[in-house]
Copies of this chain bind each other. A is one copy, B any other.
Amino acid sequence: MRRSRKRNHLVRKASKLFEARGFHATGIDMVLSEAGIAKMTLYNHFASKDDLIAAALRHKSLKVLNWLEDELTARTSDPKGRVLALFDAYQDWFEQDDFSGCMFQKAAGEFPAKDHPAHKEAANHKRRLYERLTHLTEGAGATDPAQLAEQLLLLLEGATAIATSTGATIAGRRAKRAAEILLAV
């Protein structure tokens, strides 16, 4: 087996549980029983719970970026439209029944130490997202793609945070309206 199926299965289940219930609140035993995997198998593949958490975050980061890619291509091929489609995709995410916030915001919150692996993975993900946004704003012909990408990132993160704490899923649409203004400048 090139990369253990068990390992992959474990990471996927762990990612789901950590996202839904938080990192500290989710015990290893719960992940194991949910995945139907023995404890020793976990510690054969990972040095510690933190190591598993980092792997779960890396897995989720790829998944999120791929999801975003698919959403954008499915919605429109117009460069400016793709920028705005970002917010429609997020809006759909907020409205999912099992929406429980951004796993990376949670990771940064639960692991405040900047040198903690989970905190680093959160920072890495946001950087990747920012790079992807910059690519989008360049494609849309923005006068200052980097600045616009930063502003879009602020809106997306803000909408996510507000949707998480207040449950106001409408935040996505509000953010989209702001983005339209910023995009028109």
The CA of A166 and the CA of B125, in the complex, are separated in Å by 9
Q: Which B residues lie within 8 Å of A126 (CB)?
A: 162, 165-166
Residue of B nearest to A109 (CB): B106
Majority secondary structure, A binding face: helix
The CA of A167 and the CA of B114, in the complex, are separated in Å by 8
The CA of A161 and the CA of B107, in the complex, are separated in Å by 11
Interface presence of A110 (CB below 8 A): yes
Which residues 129-185 in A have Cβ within 8 Å of B in the complex? Answer: 147, 150-151, 153-162, 164-167, 171, 174-175, 177-178, 181-182, 185
What are the 4 closest A-B residue pairs judged by CB atoms, nearest first? A158-B158, A154-B158, A24-B24, A108-B165
